Amino acid sequence: MKTYKLLAAAACLVPAMLLAKGATPTCGVENIKLGGYVGQRIDQCIERRIMGQNADELVAPFRQQNETRGRWASEFWGKWVQGAIASYQYNHAPALLAKIRDAEQALMACQLPNGFLGDYTPDTETTGWDVWGRKYTLLGLLKWYRLSGDKQALKSACRLLDYTLSQVGPAPKKAIFDCGHYKGMPPMSILEPVMFMYNETKDERYLAFAKYIVEVGESADGPQLIARAGVPVSQRFPLKEGAAWYGRENGQKAYEMMSCYVGMLELYKVTGDERLLRAAETSWQHIADEEIYVVGSGASHECWYGGREKQTLAAARTMETCVTFTWMQFCERLLQLTGKAQYADALECTMYNALMASMKFDGSQIVKYVPVEGYRREGEHQCDVRINCCNANGPRAFATVPRVVYQTPSPQRLNVNLYIPSEATIQVDGQKLTIVQETNFPEDGLVKIRIAHVEKAKKAKSQPAPITLALRIPAWSRHTSVRLNSERVPRATAGTYYQLSRQWKEGDELQLTFDMTARILRQAQMAAVTRGPIILARDSRFRDGDIDECLTIADKDGVVELKRVEAPEHMWMAFELPVMRGYYHDKEIDQVTIRLCDFASAGNTWDETERYRLWLPLLYVPF
């Protein structure tokens, strides 16, 4: 088995505003490059999905401004360009930067004298998905400003937000929750860019508008995201008989709800209002416990439905990629704010399973829905544009990964959140550390983290303060060993950060060995097989029998025996599992091995003649 070495040089992940204004960071990841399977998939996404997109087609609706049917074409540009900007911050490709610049300039040229920048006609503005689309436009403009320092982008964003404030707000203006369906959550999620605008301009009108959004949302007609935070997300607003699923009264819309909580966290950063953080964390826990499947995403028809206890069923239109991304975004923001390992654990599971499963093997397309069994296929084109919401939004999820591998929550602390073959340069308390991860993880459980270079700042103290290197110990790894320079250190506890504080020097090496024991999860007379953070599945490409056949799987205290085998084309990992097959299994011929692959690889050719399944049917024995 090969050990993945590091790929070529890296790209900057310093907060882009610092780049634009010429500041030098004192703490943070300067550059990072990922290798291995994850790095390859990110590169494919950038090359095929982002660079392959005709951005002018996404600008066209803003030129035409003829939307009267309440559709959402105005979200596509903002979603795609945010993924493009985050990807450029990772790879620094000049061609990508030029593509982004052209898309930004083309979009800004569509702005009307009154500040409107969207695709709705004047008489339909603030209806349907108009304000929701403005949110993505604002985010796309603001992130370009932070990257490039282009003041025209900030001016354009200000004009659009000012125009929105002239239409939406306290009476006699239109209430924000009346500007869209789903209890007003889609338009209310404009809270996130409103807070970004306040942070850039310190305009108190924007902060007042942000507070208005939160408070009016607690009224009887709003989604009550604070008051009902303790209620399961699928049960906050039970639909009355005859009510439209895709309508005003459905308060279960998954990624719009999470988008609102993401905005509330941005307001919390400024105001310190603990209600906002508590509501977000409480709702996150409900989602994790009651909605997120074992592969790290959830929802059916894009709404919460108590899906975790129903995840063995072949639910319709499940695990929308927009839900997958926003769940990762929610996890990332809470991880940044709280430093709790559970958020990194959840993000890791989603990344390796639901996210990687969403993209075709060649990176050309991102699927709209990821079923737990069946096949995957290209989503429909939407709103007369040759794209859909998930093809536009999915790259943002892939671009999230490099940002999360390392974080510097304080000047003296460096967190290692994800284990991926990589090289990164990080500023920590007046020192510049070059850190290398050499690993095949999660193909095996060994991770080596080496301090390749230490550079002191020119004006740094002669004896720098110790730096705490905090290693996430995944909750799934029941037994984890840690060595520092070949010497074993005290035992690490699953689900926490293992902290080592010292003056790090060039050549220091940490070695972690994670517990990659294969285990079986049983639910509703079905079984799923896990190995570390990876969930496994059957795939008909193995030609090893009927993937729907009934099985008996032997385990010892939940542990099963897997054997690694060579993976076929377009598969990452493959394993053999001994089972008894069929309804009789009383003969030697019933003792067979089946093959399993990582869930991300299952069905990744999008060939509808092939099938896969995550949950394996178990034979019921009543005695």
- Residue bearing tokens 């602390």: 413
Cα–Cα nearest to 405, from 495, 332, 487, 318: 332
Taking each helix axis from N to C terminus, what angle separates 151-167 and 191-201, rounded to the nearest 10 degrees?
130
pLDDT at residue 456, rounded to an integer: 84
CA dihedral 451, 453, 459, 461 (to 10 degrees): 40
pLDDT at residue 430, rounded to an integer: 84
pLDDT at residue 586, rounded to an integer: 73
In DSSP terms, which residues pair with 320 in a beta bridge? 369
Q: Are 101 and 413 in contact (CB under 8 A)?
A: no
CA distance 285 to 306: 13
pLDDT at residue 462, rounded to an integer: 65
Run means of pLDDT, 10 residues per run, the chain, 623 residues: 33 36 61 98 98 98 98 98 98 98 98 98 98 98 98 98 98 97 98 98 98 98 98 95 90 98 98 98 98 98 97 96 98 98 98 98 97 95 97 98 97 96 94 96 98 82 84 98 94 96 96 98 97 98 96 95 96 97 78 96 97 96 81
In DSSP terms, which residues pair with 403 in a beta bridge? none
Burial 367-406 (b: 16+ CB within 10 A, else e): bbbbbbbebbeebeebbebebbbbbbbbbbbbbbbbbbbb
Q: Which CATH architecture has domain 413-513?
A: Sandwich (2.60)
Domain ranges across the chain: 413-513, 518-617
In DSSP terms, which residues pair with 451 in a beta bridge? 435
> In terms of C-beta distances under 8 Å and separation of at least 24 residues, what long-range contacts does 155-160 make, across chains too?
156/108, 156/111, 156/117, 157/193, 157/197, 158/197, 158/201, 159/111, 159/115, 159/117, 160/111, 160/115, 160/116, 160/117, 160/134
CA distance 46 to 399: 9
CA triple 86-75-371, angle to 5 deg: 80
Q: Are 190 and 134 in contact (CB under 8 A)?
A: yes
Q: Are 404 and 422 in contact (CB under 8 A)?
A: no
Amino acid at 462: S
Task: Tell me the whole-structure pTM to 2 decimals.
Answer: 0.95
